[in-house]
Amino acid sequence: MCCPACVAVSECILGAGLDDYYRMRDQQANRPAASAEDYLQYDSPAVFEQFSHPDGECWQSQLSVSDMHCAACAWLIENRLGAIDGVNAVRVNLQRGMATVEWCPAQVQLSEIFASVHQLGYGVQPWSAEAHLQQLQEGQKSLLRRLGLAGVAMMQLMMTAIALYAGDFQGIDTDIRQLLRWFSLAIATPVILYSAQPFFSGAWRGIKAGRAGMDVPVSIAMLAAYGASLRATVSGEGHVYFDTVSMFCFFLLLSRYLQNAVQLRRESSIRPLLPLTARKVAPDGANQWVALSALQDGDELLVQPGELVPVDGVVVSGQSSVEDSAFTGEFMPRSKVPGDTVLAGSHNIDGSLCLRLQGHPEQSSLSQIDQLLDSARLAKPPIAELADRISGYFTLFVLFCAAAAYTYWSFNPGHSAFLTALAVLVVSCPCALSLATPSSYSAAVSGLRRRGALVANAAVLENLAGISHVIFDKTGTLTEGRPRLLKVELAGELDECQALSIAAALEAPSSHPIAQAFSVDALGAAGYTLTALAPSQLDLQAGQGISAVINGDSYKIGRREFCGFAEQGDSDELMTVYLAKNGKLAARFFLEDTLREGAAQALAFLKQRGVRSVLLSGDSSDQVAVLANALGFDEYQAGCTAADKLARISSLQAMGGTVLMVGDGVNDAPVIAAADVSVAMAGASDLTRSCADVALLSDRLSLIELLFTKSAKMGRILRQNIFWALLYNGTALPAAAAGLVPPWLAAIGMSLSSLVVVLNALRLDRQEQQRSLNTQHVELASV
Amino acid sequence: MSSLYILLPVALVFFVAICALFFWAVNHRQFDDLDREAQRILYDDERRKKRADKNDD
């Protein structure tokens, strides 16, 4: 992508294309089956083979499970399915909403497995990326409806609450008070009946699984506060807490909505990867479009220039340059001739290829890597789970305290037992504590999102604080992966402008990245004036060079061998382009990959922070050393394979280091999985982006600096929030249990304490917004 | 203060109306992709296509 406008256009097209696809799908959508009989269709081998692969006697099937919210859900499914005879292993990936089940057809039918998941109350379908995305979108929509209702209700209820509180102090007509209460009841009832449903169903699942998640205290507090308010309204005695109920519901839904939004965004950005159809070549030479799933091992396919290769295959005829940065991370296209293997997801650049399909079309290397990464990601320690568990224990503690207070005051005069117990529940509701983490995280995440960094899992922001080493990849990460002309060395009678004019004319028809360096635009921008030439007999040899005749002279441009010269041996061959006139050397062009903007600043920032920077590049040329010295890297290593990089990371980690990896290619994928925190560049392959902790949306390296400062700030605000929540709960709980806090004060205290936490967390986002507005003004002014 | 007996039910009607409007908007994909809609104004393909369709009729 050359500019933000191109990115906008391509996003627009992709977005529109996807959208149309889903509109079409809606008509034939597989809705989750309603009863166990409906799952019988999955028992047929022809059906389950589509989302399963054999593993000896057994099969591994991938199921898409919807409505999973927390680690408890994953635990429940794993245990329930694991208990079925014939199910060997179950792994649930909470982030992707995916369950991988290993089962033996001899002992169990797949329909039983489906029905078991269904019985637990989760939606289940065979795993398919589109169906999963659709499920996510539907879930997000229903969450938005609940959130909107709770928000509008909250605003209404706050108004009446203020009137009621004022009435408590100054006196209020009983009629008016009752009117306000009935009004509040009317508004709060849909909140409990509709908006709060996810918490109740989550709490119910948690109780069934024997683990009190965050949903349990939330549900009890909401139901108790609502119940007490209902009683007070009907009887005309006591206090109402309708505002508390709705505020609670709104803030909790909001944090859940924001988290889902990030997941949805990431999932939809990795979808439009492989085409769904391919051109199949019939024995008589004619070709026709067929669905990928209809292809068989050994079929021959035609791939035109500019197309993505849809399957893994062997070249039968034709030759072309193929760019497979999705696998190698190197943007330099490689020449492919008959007999070479081409992988699904690579980009065919300048010639037609006829491929023979190898293996199953939907089991390409790309999807296999995807599966491997899924299991790799399951191994990561879920720090968020710990936070959930701790607040679960806190919940039990609060419930215990409430029960104790109730019992104590039932036998001792002085305070109403029910009101005291309610005060304990409301005042010490883990609201502030449970909001402290997610609100800070989601504010930081949305702040970063605005600046162009997509954080996959918020725990990363915590890990960033302790980073000791940052490892960079070179091509595509520190550099743009697009060569540009550095200098021209003349050998014949041509002058610089003539040589470049000829080069531009010859390279014009090619879409190779090197040819782009000779485009009229690129050279014009570099300040060269070119004369337009009309070459004839143009012959484009993929991966080699181009020959043509201009004004009666024959020219060749391209590799040294192509132009027919002997080894010159003084510089990196790949980046030198030769021009021959009538078989004699006319000029040599030296190209350089452009360094990304902000690379030097990012490195300077890391140095200042005391973080060691390491450059590990797959490139074996001298350029690595030149670059490393110019940017002031602490160490560097050229010619690294993925295994070398992995070994380097392991040795750093063994010495107690915490490693941040910044990379782009799939060859970096295992490295990215091993690193403590990983960042994928915007130009990275979709696969790498989907497995990295942070995916950048623009290639500005200054975002690395932003990540560090943001995480430090988030750590600070998180600590403030937790400190405040603990301080508040620590003082309010005993006070309420002693009967010193009336429920209305408890409600105000609780609302204020969570408000303090949320407002404090919002500072993470708000300052960011102002700053980004300022930079926009500056950018506009400079235009 | 008796005006509250009229104003509060009116507020209730507004509450229902706003919620209904919001639900309608969500169900009609108004919130599906907030980023793309902001960019749509930059491209006039769709309008041109529609106009071309009209000319065909």
pLDDT tens readout for residues A223-242: 888 998 899 899 988 778 78
Test mutation, A179, A242, A267, chain B, max B CBs within 10 A: A179
For A308, the 3-state DSSP assignment is strand
B1 vs A173, A183, A186: nearest CB: A173
Give the pLDDT band (50/70/90) at residue B16: very high
pLDDT for residue A729 is more than 70: yes
CA separation for the pair A691, A267 (Å, rounded): 11
Strands A659-663, A469-472: pairing is: parallel
Exposed / middle / buried, residue A214 (Cβ in 10 Å: 0-12, 13-18, 19+)? buried
Please state the rounded mean pLDDT for residues A607-629: 81
More confident residue, A183 or A318: A183
Tally Cβ neighbours within 10 Å of residue A775.
11
pLDDT for residue A370 is more than 80: no
- For residue A96, report the phi and psi dihedrals to the nearest 5 degrees: -95, -5
Which one, of A441, A375, A446, A476, lies nearest residue A691 by Cα?
A375
How far from A332 is each of A219, A326, A519, CA to CA, in Å? 57, 12, 17
Which one, of A53, A726, A579, lies nearest residue A367 by Cα?
A53
Tokens of A125: 């379908």
* Nearest CA-CA distance, residue A146 and chain B, Å: 9
Q: What is the ipTM of this complex?
A: 0.77
Q: Do A137 and B31 touch (CB under 8 A)?
A: no
Q: Do A148 and B26 touch (CB under 8 A)?
A: yes
Distance in angstroms between the alpha carbons of the first and the last residue of chain A? 20
* Nearest CA-CA distance, residue A735 and chain B, Å: 37
Give the tens place of pLDDT for each residue, A748-780.
Answer: 676 677 667 777 877 776 554 444 444 444 444
Give the pLDDT band (50/70/90) at residue B22: very high
pLDDT for residue A182 is more than 50: yes
Q: List, in sequence order, the alpha helices (H) in A412-482.
A: 417-427, 431-451, 459-464
Residue pair A689/A329 in contact by the 8 Å Cβ criterion: no
pLDDT for residue A473 is more than 70: yes
pLDDT for residue A598 is more than 60: yes
Beta bridge partners of A66: A123
Which one, of A284, A289, A355, lies nearest residue A317 by Cα?
A355
Closest chain A CA to residue B46: A16
A8 vs B18, B22, B39: nearest CB: B39
Please state the rounded mean pLDDT for residues A617-626: 73
Please state the rounded mean pLDDT for residues A185-190: 94
Please state the rounded mean pLDDT for residues A573-588: 73
Beta bridge partners of A546: A540, A557
Please state the rounded mean pLDDT for residues A568-591: 70
Tokens of A410: 């039932």
Which one, of A249, A235, A315, lies nearest residue A281 by Cα?
A315
Distance in angstroms between the alpha carbons of the first and the last residue of chain B? 62
pLDDT for residue A462 is more than 80: no
Q: Do B40 and A12 touch (CB under 8 A)?
A: yes
Longest dimension (CA), chain A: 113
Residue pair A180/A186 in contact by the 8 Å Cβ criterion: no
- For residue A633, report the phi and psi dihedrals to the nearest 5 degrees: -70, 145
Residue pair A505/A518 in contact by the 8 Å Cβ criterion: no
Please state the rounded mean pLDDT for residues A530-543: 73
Q: What is the pLDDT of residue A716?
A: 87
Which one, of A62, A65, A58, lies nearest residue A103 by Cα?
A58
What DSSP letter does each residue of A235-246 carry, written as one string? HS-S---HHHHH
Exposed / middle / buried, residue A471 (Cβ in 10 Å: 0-12, 13-18, 19+)? buried
Kindly calculate the radius of gyration of chain A based on its CA atoms and give it in whole angstroms: 32
Q: Which residues of chain A have a CB within 8 Å of the CB of B43? A: 9, 12
Q: Which residues of chain B have a CB within 8 Å of the CB of A156? A: 11, 15
**Which residues 6+ apart lie within 8 Å of A689 measured at CB?**
A266, A269, A270, A680, A695
pLDDT for residue A417 is more than 60: yes
Q: What is the pLDDT of residue A188?
A: 94
Tokens of A644: 């070398």
- For residue A142, report the phi and psi dihedrals to the nearest 5 degrees: -70, -35
> Among the listed ranges A79-88, A173-182, A274-283, which one has the minimum average pLDDT value?
A274-283
Mark A311-326 as b/e (b = at least 16 C-beta within 10 Å). bbbebeebbbbbbbbb
Residue with tokens 């009983």: A174
Query: Which range is most confident: A91-95, A616-620, A713-717?
Result: A713-717
A215 is catalytic: no
**Which residues 6+ apart lie within 8 Å of A86 measured at CB?**
A103, A104, A106, A107, A108
B interface residues, A as partner, C-beta within 8 Å: 1, 4-5, 8, 11-12, 15, 18-19, 22-23, 26-27, 31-33, 35-36, 39-40, 42-43
Percent of chain A with pLDDT over 70: 70
Geometric angle at alpha carbon A664, from A662 and A665, rounded to 5°: 135
* Nearest CA-CA distance, residue A703 and chain B, Å: 21
| AA identity, residue A69 | H
A interface residues, B as partner, C-beta within 8 Å: 8-9, 11-12, 15-16, 19, 137, 141, 144-145, 148-149, 152-153, 156, 173, 176, 179-180, 183, 186-187, 190
Q: What is the pLDDT of residue A129?
A: 61
Test mutation, B5, B8, B41, chain A, max A CBs within 10 A: B8
Residue pair A296/A357 in contact by the 8 Å Cβ criterion: yes
- Cα atoms found within 13 Å of the Cα of residue A676, Cβ hemisphere only: 22
Closest chain A CA to residue B33: A15
Kindly calculate the radius of gyration of chain B based on its CA atoms and give it in whole angstroms: 21
Tokens of B52: 């071309």
Mark A668-699 as b/e (b = at least 16 C-beta within 10 Å). bbbbbbbbbbbbbbbbbbbbbbbbbbbbbbeb
CA separation for the pair A511, A518 (Å, rounded): 11
Among A473, A593, A664, A676, the active-site one is: A473
A187 vs B15, B31, B42: nearest CB: B15
**In order of start, what are the domains of chain A with their CATH numbers?**
36-127 (3.30.70.100), 147-268+380-444+716-770 (no CATH), 277-363 (2.70.150.10), 450-478+596-711 (3.40.50.1000), 480-594 (3.40.1110.10)
Mean model confidence pLDDT for chain A:
73
Residue pair A666/A329 in contact by the 8 Å Cβ criterion: yes
Give the tens place of pLDDT for each residue, A104-126.
Answer: 888 888 888 888 888 777 778 77
Q: What is the DSSP letter of A606?
A: H
Q: What is the pLDDT of residue A355?
A: 85
Chain-centroid distance, C-alpha A535: 48
* Nearest CA-CA distance, residue A7 and chain B, Å: 11
Tokens of A763: 């500072």
Q: What is the pLDDT of residue A325?
A: 57
A15 vs B4, B31, B36: nearest CB: B36
CA dihedral A744, A749, A751, A752 (to 10 degrees): 140
Q: Do B39 and A153 touch (CB under 8 A)?
A: no
